[in-house]
Structure 1
Amino acid sequence: MSPVPHSFSPRRFAQALVEQALDDALASGARTPVLAISGVQGSGKSTLAAQVVELARARGLQAAALSIDDTYLTRAQRQRLADRIHPLLATRGPPGTHDLPLALSTLDAAKAGRAFALPRFDKLADERVPEAQWQMQDTPLDLLVFEGWFLGTPAEQDAALQAPLNALEREADGDGIWRRWCNQALANDYPALWQRFDRLWFLQPPGFSVVPHWRWQQEQALQQASPGRTSMSRAQVERFVQFYERISRQALRTLPTLADRVIPLDAQRRPL
């Protein structure tokens, strides 16, 4: 279930940075501001989100965190996409594999001060948690922190999609159907979600090369949190991150100029 256990991150973010994030969101003037935290896999988004919520509650505010990962389509829904459009769409993660009406209705309910349930997704089971087990938020929120690996990222130009980027694209998407479909979803469907953000913070890694290692650490933390359940091997993680590589690289190119605040990180996730 998202978010990733805090034990995954080697350290918490400095209190001053957490205070800046909270104050920045509250200064937006929105009735219930949505602070979006974007960053590649393993960059510490859920850790920072949890710290901001913790600080907000310590100040007497009502706050909650949500991950875009918690709005993945169910396994059956993704399988229908795989059967109809391309087999790679059975794998969660890229644009087009999220339940955007669910994400939009959740953020809209939070911003309007209505009661709502926080969706949750079980990553080890690769399935959405049953709705009866979602946490109800009955009290109007003062802040919602929304985190995700490509929040705010714009679509690529068509010409950039011509050549395969990695082994996954060469071997399983040689004709480009999958990557074009995901890019079209990113262009057409996700901007409405991005428009719900009142502030966008970007945790910027030193480059994409750190992502496989960070994601492997994340997988180990998931397994430690649920011993006895099946998780991915290192080789499976290496392939899994290739599903995210194209749009992660697009985020690295574009978000530094689009985000309200950019936090550069070193290879150990320490803010520079």
Structure 2
Amino acid sequence: MNDPLTDLIAAEGLPADYIEVVQQFWQPLATRIARLPASRAPLVIGINGAQGTGKSTLCRFLEVLLARRQIRAVTLSLDDLYLTRAQRLQLAQDVHPLLRTRGVPGTHAVGLGLHIIEDMLAGRPLELPRFDKSRDDRAEEAERITGPVDVLLLEGWCVGAKPQDAAALAEPVNELERVEDPDGIWRGLVNHWLQEDYARLFEQLDLLVMLKVDDFDVVSRNRALQEEKLRRDNPDATATMDDAALARFCDHYERLTHHMLSEMPERADVVIEIGPDQRPISVQAPS
């Protein structure tokens, strides 16, 4: 009989010694989730991490590890809640041109995420949307999940993010903001949405896990690796990016990434340091 963990390691294209990462980091996290009070179930577990930190991989392992305890977990990526391409184009026309690019708060269907959580808490079947990055649009069909769900793993680069102080918005952080948002309208809107819709979504979290890298330079390198894999796996894709387009894309994420790296480690329930090889190196549980 095959071992699900060994099979998953192979399916993810990971080296055999990755089982050590599972045993040292992911198993204890699964144990912590399993030990949360039953009175709080079903649970919503937030997995925060910049691009390339391994959020999706972690969630796949948590699903297997929790299943060993007869706990059913399913994953919803914040990416899968992106507005459709047509909706973002309309936002860009009506509100601000930078909202055409997926990623920042304001480009997700937050209400859909709240509806999914409401369905889970009520024991109803779940319709999980899926986003196709190779087409930069939401997939036509959702994934239907029937039967009770014990844990929803909500993963995303800005899951659990808090808004910045208004004064911090005054100065641009990069060329994109200086040239395309000189009056701060776009970043002000992003901050406003974090205070409103996204705050309501993140209030649903029972536990917040942060996969933390050292700085934004690491994020840019990791995102480049993701794009390379996307091009390799989808040779006919219409929405992959060259180096210049990717650099501009990452500029949309820079402000909020710096903010989260600065303030989130002090309040996240679990902080897992991610090394330059994209593997975890240490765990902290802030007081």
TM-score normalised to structure 2 length: 0.88
Shift of 1:47: 0.7
Q: Is 1:44 aligned to 2:54, yes or no?
A: yes
1:45-194 → structure 2 map (5 Å cutoff): 45-130=55-140, 133-194=141-202
Counterpart pick for 1:264 among 259, 273, 278: 273
Structure 2: segments with no counterpart, 5+ residues: 1-10, 282-287
Query: Which letter does structure 1 place at the counterpart of 2:80?
Result: D
Rounded to whole Å, the distance in 2 between the matches of 1:168 and 1:228 is: 29
Shift of 1:227: 2.4
Query: Which letter does structure 2 place at the counterpart of 1:139?
Result: G
What is aligned with 1:252? 261
What is aligned with 1:201? 209
Structure showing greater radius of gyration is 2
Rounded to whole Å, the distance in 1 between the matches of 2:24 and 2:123 is: 28
Rounded to whole Å, the distance in 1 between the matches of 2:53 and 2:270 is: 15
Rounded to whole Å, the distance in 1 between the matches of 2:121 and 2:32 is: 17
RCO comparison, higher one (Cα < 8 Å, 6+): 1
1:39-70 Cα offsets, whole Å, 9 max, x none, are: 11111111101110122224433221110000
Rounded to whole Å, the distance in 2 between the matches of 1:254 and 1:11 is: 30
Rounded to whole Å, the distance in 1 between the matches of 2:246 and 2:193 is: 24
Query: Which letter does structure 2 place at the counterpart of 1:269?
Result: Q
Identity rate of aligned residues, in percent? 39
Q: Is 1:243 aligned to 2:276, yes or no?
A: no
Cα 1:6–1:90 change in 2 (3 A) is farther
Cα 1:23–1:108 change in 2 (3 A) is farther
Cα 1:8–1:69 change in 2 (3 A) is farther
1:193-216 Cα offsets, whole Å, 9 max, x none, are: 111111110001011111111001
Cα 1:215–1:8 change in 2 (3 A) is farther
Structure 1: segments with no counterpart, 5+ residues: none
Please give the root-mean-square deviation of Cα atoms over the aligned residues, in Å.
1.9
Q: How many residues align?
A: 266
CA contact (8 A) 1:26 1:33 kept: no
Rounded to whole Å, the distance in 2 between the matches of 1:249 and 1:165 is: 10
Cα 1:169–1:200 change in 2 (3 A) is same
Query: Which letter does structure 1 place at the counterpart of 2:243?
Result: R
Deviates more, 1:158-167 or 1:28-37: 28-37
